[in-house]
Amino acid sequence: MPRPPARQGAGGLPGPEGYTGPMPERLILLTNDDGLWAPGLAALAQVASRFGRVVTVAPDRNRSAISSALSLHSILRLHALGEDRYACDGTPVDCVLLGVCEVLKRRPDWILSGVNLGFNLGEDVFYSGTVGAAFEGRLQGARAAAFSIHPKGELALAVPWIERFLQRWEAMELPPNRIWNLNFPQDAPKGFRLTGQDSRAYHDIVERRVDPRGTPYFWIGGDAGPTYAKSPGSDAEAVLDGWASATPLRLDLGCPEILARSKDFEATFNG
């Protein structure tokens, strides 16, 4: 793999203090779960290209709500569609793995996922292929972020804020195994809010219908959409109030506050 071409200060940012020579170009792997032809992916590619070389490896169809699924029991195909642009018939996580191991053959600096059409707030981050791909990016050692927008949001209104975020996010280092989960409101954001994860309830989640041959089938989701708790400081509260929400998420789901109760645990389960 040849080294990427050098250029002055990636993304228009100044180099490290006192250094005026060329900086290696930032390598950015881009994916999503809405599929390669989604407008949100094109918007994110355009913004990202101002910060380095963008290589896109994205699913060849909509693979939303597939979380961190990995194709371990089927083959994967990768189709080169043009310079630095690939379609994969796997999941978003497959795309990240093929992007890193087959296309780039090195760790990218950034992995960006989205922009997903529809929020990824509260517990929806567990279902989201957009967020799953960002987590995989972090596991591969890259700085990683997932981007989502209100289902009727205008990408053009979010783009300047995505650019602002990408200009600055290297200045706010997260601890290991954290990613950024960004959500953008329907209208132009009032600004950024640093948020926690809300919780939400779905209604009528499994709908029974009958097909033209009289056999029942089931449709998950219903029409009502989620109700968010909108707890103070949460992603849903911020984004539904018109702010761009930036939520750090962690891969480690352990509960250190429960580990402090190990004596109770052992008395209960071992006693």
Residues that bind Mn ion (CB under 5 A): 33-34, 64, 116
What type of residue is 116?
A: N
How far apart are CB 118 and Mn ion at their closest, in Å? Answer: 6
How far apart are CB 5 and Mn ion at their closest, in Å? Answer: 33
DSSP secondary structure code for residue 234 in this structure: B
Which residue, judged by CB position, is nearest to Mn ion in the bound state? 64
Nearer to Mn ion, 33 or 235 (CB): 33
Nearer to Mn ion, 222 or 232 (CB): 222
How far apart are CB 2 and Mn ion at their closest, in Å? Answer: 34
Nearer to Mn ion, 127 or 169 (CB): 127
Kindly provide the residue ranges of all beta strands, DSSP E only, lying in 127-222, ordered along the sequence. Answer: 143-149, 178-184, 192-194, 200-201, 206-210, 216-220
How far apart are CB 64 and Mn ion at their closest, in Å? Answer: 3
Q: Which helix (H) or strand (E) holds 56?
A: strand 53-59
What type of residue is 132?
A: G
Nearer to Mn ion, 41 or 48 (CB): 41
How far apart are CB 75 and Mn ion at their closest, in Å? Answer: 24
Nearer to Mn ion, 129 or 189 (CB): 129
How far apart are CB 43 and Mn ion at their closest, in Å? Answer: 14
Tell me the C-alpha to C-alpha distance, in Å, between residue 235 and each of 35, 132, 201: 25, 18, 15
Q: What are phi and psi of 123, to 5 degrees?
A: -70, -10
Q: Which helix (H) or strand (E) holds 85?
A: strand 85-88
In sequence order, the 6+-apart residues with CB closer than 8 A to the CB of 24 are 3, 4, 6, 10
Nearer to Mn ion, 194 or 205 (CB): 205
What type of residue is 233?
A: G
Place of tokens 């599929």: 35
